[in-house]
């Protein structure tokens, strides 16, 4: 049963903004910290609040203001902040055994058995890590070891992390320079902004056929894997058409290429299924898991098909903290909570309710060009003109800030606003959060149009 009592709040009491925000203590703490800490995310740069605590779906700052959480700590705390089952599991091992390299522990054995049970198909070769990007790196090394080939194709505006292999799969920022040799990119299906200026379904999903052109003209036929996010996260919940993934699987099989689905953001019930690839009945050869896996405790995994799992022995796969007892306890408890509280169904239900309300926001506002989502992975894209679809970055920034001032902690991405509430959020609270967004968009329209 969906057990929400521990996270219950009186909806009339949130959000609760009692100072100007960011408040005086937030300002002081952030100013002092930022003397040293450099390289903040745009989320923080645009709203430098300092947080004190979180419970369920509510975040509290150091000045005593309470916010509805539409970010889940950047897609991480999907089961709510400080879920008692997870906090207790971590505390148990914080007092018992914190780290012991990659030696076996009972909690690790239990986690591995549970993870193998819930992953798709035969993705039973597992290694555990402490960040999404190191899991992706391990997946890349495994793909090379399994195929004896070295090249990769990834997709425009996908994101896979910030270590060198991961950034070579993507275009993270202007300082990146060249990708490492052997990394190529293909246009990503994006039906709102088709890279081929075609319309779905008349396009017949041309983006899949075009990958064959990329293989023929860019690579030296030494492809180890095609790597992708099942749904784009950072780029604003961009969902591929339904036939894309099964056709990509066929294409990989035709060329003997591994299919590598990076589920760091989309996994753990975020999109209404335990793993997003389940929406298209498509099983990859490699998958990576992170973010919601430990609900805030840094634990991630790289899972590879039984067919290739022997190669994990050859990539020097272990790490200092990967799969330490606290991490395993957090991940096992999180998987159990997803099942016990039926959070796949909950995520789908909440996402549907939110998307319906977002469609109304779109029809009411001239600057809302697109609303989209699967489960609790949602986005609103702002445009200067619905016909030309010109991106409205200034509005994106202002709507983010205004809604935050009204008590909504969430995530901007230039002209796109990203929504990823905890999966346990009550319908009423989610709709209240969307009312705040509606109001903020209205105010920005009055200021800018
Ligand atoms: C799809 C995807 N892969 C990998 C990563 C990297 O994860 P981490 O920040 O834990 O290294 C991210 C982070 O946002 C992600 O969204």
Rounded to the nearest whole angstrom, what is the distance from the C-alpha of residue 185 to the centroid of ligand 1?
18
* Domains in the chain: boundaries: 5-79+344-373+399-448, 85-340
Beta bridge pairs of residue 383: 391
pLDDT of residue 1: 40
Residue pair 381/362 in contact (Cβ under 8 Å)? The answer is no
CA–centroid distance, residue 225 to ligand 1 (Å): 18
Cβ burial, residue 87 (10 Å; 0-12/13-18/19+): middle
Atom of ligand 1 nearest to the CA of 131: 10
Instruction: Give 383-445 as a 3 state SS string.
Output: ECCCCCCCECHHHHHHHHHHHHHCCEECEEECCEEEECCCCCCCHHHHHHHHHHHHHHHHHHH
Give the atom of ligand 1 at the shortest distance from the alpha carbon of 290: 10
H/E/C letters for each residue in 49-109? CCEEEEEECEEEECCCCEEEECCHHHHCCCCCECCHHHHHHHHHHHCCCCCECECCCHHHH
Tell me what pLDDT residue 70 has: 98
Q: Which atom of ligand 1 is nearest to the CA of 263?
A: 1
pLDDT at residue 2, rounded to an integer? 41
Number of the ligand 1 atom closest to the C-alpha atom of 233: 16
Residue 393 CA to ligand 1 centre (angstroms): 23
CA dihedral 355, 360, 366, 371 (to 10 degrees): 10
Using the mean position of ligand 1's atoms as its centre, give its distance from the Cα of residue 161 in Å: 5
| Residue from 290, 331, 418 to probe ligand 1 pocket by mutation (most atoms less than 8 Å from CB) | 290
Instruction: Give the DSSP H or E segment for 381.
Output: strand 377-382
Q: CB-based contacts of 60: which residues, under 8 Å, 6+ apart? A: 51, 52, 53, 54, 66, 67
Whose Cα sits closest to atom 3 in ligand 1?
160
The domain 85-340 is placed in CATH, from the list 3.40.720.10, 3.40.50.1110, 1.10.8.60, 3.40.640.10, at 3.40.640.10
Q: Give the distance (Å) from ligand 1 centre to CA of residue 260.
A: 14
Ligand 1: atom nearest CA of 166 is 4
Residue 75 · residue 265 · CB < 8 Å: yes
* Sheet arrangement for strand 411-413: 368-374, 377-382, 416-419, 411-413
Strand order in the sheet with 408-409: 51-55, 58-61, 66-69, 408-409
For every one of its 449 residues, what pLDDT tens digit does the chain have, with 9 covering 90 and above? 446 689 999 999 999 999 999 999 999 999 999 999 999 999 999 999 999 999 999 999 999 999 999 999 999 999 999 999 999 999 999 999 999 999 999 999 999 999 999 999 999 999 999 999 999 999 999 999 999 999 999 999 999 999 999 999 998 777 778 889 999 999 999 999 999 999 999 999 999 999 999 999 999 999 999 999 999 999 999 999 999 999 999 999 999 999 999 999 999 999 999 999 999 999 999 999 999 999 999 999 999 999 999 999 999 999 999 999 999 999 999 999 999 999 999 999 999 999 999 999 999 999 999 999 999 999 999 999 999 999 999 999 999 999 999 999 999 999 999 999 999 999 999 999 999 999 999 999 999 99
Q: Other C-beta atoms within 10 Å of 209: how many?
A: 12
Q: At how many degrees (to 10) do helices 84-94 and 325-340 cross?
A: 160
CATH of region 5-79+344-373+399-448, choose from 3.40.50.1010, 3.90.1150.10, 1.20.20.10, 3.40.50.720: 3.90.1150.10
Contacts of 90 (CB under 8 A, 6+ apart): 297, 326, 329, 330
Q: CA 221 to CA 205: how far, in whole Å?
A: 23
Distance from Cα 396 to the centre of ligand 1, integer Å: 23
CA of 166 to the centre of ligand 1 (A): 9
Determine the residue of 264, 267, 300 to mutate for testing ligand 1's pocket, defined as the one with the most ligand atoms within 8 A of the Cβ atom. 264
pLDDT for res 97: 98
Q: How remote is the CA of residue 401 from the centroid of ligand 1, in Å?
A: 24
Check if 5-79+344-373+399-448 and 85-340 are the same fold.
no
The pocket around ligand 1, CB under 6 angstroms, is made up of 131-133, 136, 159-161, 229, 233-234, 262, 264-265, 290
431, two tokens: 């709709």
Of 217, 281, 226, nearest to 256 by C-alpha is 226
* pLDDT value of position 3: 60
């Amino acid at each position: 049963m969906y057990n929400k009592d521990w996270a219950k709040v009186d909806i009339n009491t949130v959000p609760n903004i009692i100072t100007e925000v960011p408040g005086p203590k937030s300002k002081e703490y952030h100013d002092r910290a930022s003397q040293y800490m450099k390289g903040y995310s745009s989320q923080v740069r645009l709203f430098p609040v300092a947080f004190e605590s979180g419970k369920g779906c509510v975040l509290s700052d150091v000045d005593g203001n309470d916010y509805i959480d539409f970010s889940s700590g950047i897609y991480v705390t999907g089961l709510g902040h400080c879920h008692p089952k997870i906090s207790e599991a971590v505390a148990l091992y914080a007092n018992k055994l914190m780290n012991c390299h990659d030696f076996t522990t009972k909690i690790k054995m239990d986690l591995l058995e549970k993870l193998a049970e819930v992953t798709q198909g035969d993705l039973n070769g597992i290694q555990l890590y402490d960040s999404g990007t190191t899991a992706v790196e391990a997946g890349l090394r495994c793909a090379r070891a399994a195929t004896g080939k070295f090249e990769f194709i990834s997709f425009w505006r996908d994101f896979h992390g910030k270590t060198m292999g991961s950034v070579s799969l993507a275009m993270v920022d202007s300082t990146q320079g060249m990708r490492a040799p052997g990394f190529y990119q293909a246009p990503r299906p994006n039906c709102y902004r088709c890279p081929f200026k075609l319309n779905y379904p008349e396009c017949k999903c041309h983006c899949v056929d075009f990958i064959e052109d990329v293989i023929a003209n860019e690579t030296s036929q030494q492809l180890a894997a095609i790597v992708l996010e099942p749904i784009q996260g950072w780029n604003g919940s961009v969902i591929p058409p339904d036939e894309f993934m099964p056709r990509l699987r066929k294409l990989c099989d035709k060329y003997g290429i591994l299919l590598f689905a990076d589920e760091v953001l989309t996994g753990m019930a975020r999109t209404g299924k335990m793993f997003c690839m389940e929406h298209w009945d498509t099983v990859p050869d490699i998958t990576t898991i992170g973010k919601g896996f430990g609900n805030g405790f840094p634990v991630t995994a790289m899972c590879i098909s039984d067919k290739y799992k022997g190669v994990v022995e050859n990539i020097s796969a272990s790490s200092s903290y990967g799969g330490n007892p606290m991490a395993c306890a957090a991940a096992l408890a999180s998987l159990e909570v997803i099942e016990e509280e039926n959070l796949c169904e909950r995520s789908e239900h909440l996402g549907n309710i939110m998307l319906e309300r977002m469609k109304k926001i779109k029809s009411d506002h001239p600057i809302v060009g697109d609303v989209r989502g699967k489960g609790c992975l949602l986005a609103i894209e702002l445009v200067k003109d619905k016909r030309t679809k010109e991106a409205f970055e200034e509005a994106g920034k202002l709507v983010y800030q205004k809604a935050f001032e009204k008590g909504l902690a969430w995530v901007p991405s230039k002209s796109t606003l990203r929504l990823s509430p905890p999966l346990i959020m009550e319908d009423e609270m989610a709709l209240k959060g969307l009312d705040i967004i509606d109001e903020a968009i209205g105010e920005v329209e009055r200021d800018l149009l």
